[in-house]
Structure 1
Amino acid sequence: MQEDYINIILADDDEDDRMFFTDAFEDLKMTTKVQTFNDGVYLMDYLNSTEATLPNVLFLDLNMPRKSGLECLQEIKQDPKFKDIAIAIYSTSASEEDIENTFVQGANIYIKKPSSFKKLKKVLSEVVTINWQYHTNNMNKDNFLLRL
C-alpha cells in the first residue's frame, strides 16, 4: 500500500536555508518527501523532465542566481501541467513590491523566512496543512502574506 506523501520542493540558493528547511520537516514528522534545488534553472529542468514527481507545494526563494523565483513562477504559471502546484514564495524580502509582484503572478502564499527554527517549523506545518483548494478560491492580498 502506498502512503500518501505530501511532495514538497524548495528552490533556494542558500545552503543553510535548505538544510534548516529539510531538518524542520524531519522534526515535524509529517509524511512528506522533500526535494531541494539550489537554483531556478535546476528546478525548472527537473519540473519539465518526464520523470519529475510534481510537488504539492513548491517553495520558491526569490533571489537566486541564473533564474529567480519570480522567473520560475512566471514559467510555471504559463504551463497548464503545473496548474495544481501550490506555490509558496519563501524569501528574506518582505518588500511590498515583491509581495505585490508574486501575488499578481499567481503565487499562492508569501512567507518571509522565519528567524528561528521553531518559527520555521510552525510556518511549514501551517503551509503544508492548508487546504489549497479552499484557500485559492478565496485568494486576496490579506491572506496571501502568511503572518505568524
Structure 2
Amino acid sequence: MNNNETIRILLVDDDEDDRADFIAVFAGLRMNTFVETLKDGVALMNYLMNDAAKLPHILFLDLNMPKKSGLECLIAIKKIDRLKDLTIAIYSTSSSQKDIEDTFVNGANIYIRKPTHPTMLKKILMHVLAINWQYHTSGLNKDNFLLQL
C-alpha cells in the first residue's frame, strides 16, 4: 500500500453494536480508510466469491457467528488461490487457547481480543494499520500472533 491509497477494511461480525463501534472508531481516525461490514460468514463468502468485489487490505473476522463461523470462513478463504494471501485479523471475544491455536494453524495473520472500551479499540486499530504485513507475515510465530497492547 502506498501512502495515498485508501485502505479497504472489511469487518465481519454478527454483533450490530460491535460493527457500529468499529465504524465509529475508524471515522475518528485521520487515515484514508474505507470500511465495510457484513454480519455473517455466508455473506462474507458470497462477497469474496464475487470476482468484481474489491478485496479488502485487511479482513477483521469474528469467530462466533451464525450460519458460518469465522474459523470455517478462514479455512475456506485459505484454500482459494485468489484469496489465500488476504490479510486476516481474527477479532473475537474468545480468549480460548484452542481458538487462538486453530486460527494460527489455519493461516490467520493476527488474533485480536475485542476490547471493551473505544479508546483501546482505537489504539488496537491504529496498531494493526501500522503493521508492515509483508514483514509481519514472513516472521509469523505465536509470539507475535496474539496482539497484546
Q: Same fold (TM over 0.5)?
A: yes
TM-score, structure 2 normalization: 0.96
- Count of aligned residue pairs for this structure pair: 146
| Aligned twin of 1:10 | 11
| Aligned twin of 2:125 | 124
Residue pair 1:110, 1:145 contacting (<8 A) in 2 also: yes
| Aligned twin of 1:141 | 142
CA offsets, 1:17-62, max 9 Å, x none? Answer: 0000011101112111110000000011011012211011000000
| Aligned twin of 2:111 | 110
| Aligned twin of 2:43 | 42
Distance in 2 between residues matched to 1:41 and 1:60, nearest whole Å: 12
- Offset at 1:143? 0.3
2:35 counterpart SS class: strand
TM-score, structure 1 normalization: 0.96
Residue pair 1:56, 1:84 contacting (<8 A) in 2 also: no
| Aligned twin of 1:66 | 67
Residue pair 2:78, 2:85 contacting (<8 A) in 1 also: no
1:41 counterpart SS class: helix
Residue pair 1:62, 1:90 contacting (<8 A) in 2 also: yes
Residue pair 1:61, 1:90 contacting (<8 A) in 2 also: yes
RMSD of aligned alpha carbons: 0.8
Match for 2:96: what amino acid?
A: S
Distance in 2 between residues matched to 1:83 and 1:138, nearest whole Å: 17
Distance in 1 between residues matched to 2:137 and 2:59, nearest whole Å: 15
| Aligned twin of 1:52 | 53
- Offset at 1:84? 3.0
1:70 counterpart SS class: helix
2:52 counterpart SS class: coil
Distance in 2 between residues matched to 1:137 and 1:58, nearest whole Å: 18
Distance in 2 between residues matched to 1:29 and 1:23, nearest whole Å: 12
1:59 counterpart SS class: strand
Residue pair 2:62, 2:92 contacting (<8 A) in 1 also: yes
- Offset at 1:129? 1.4
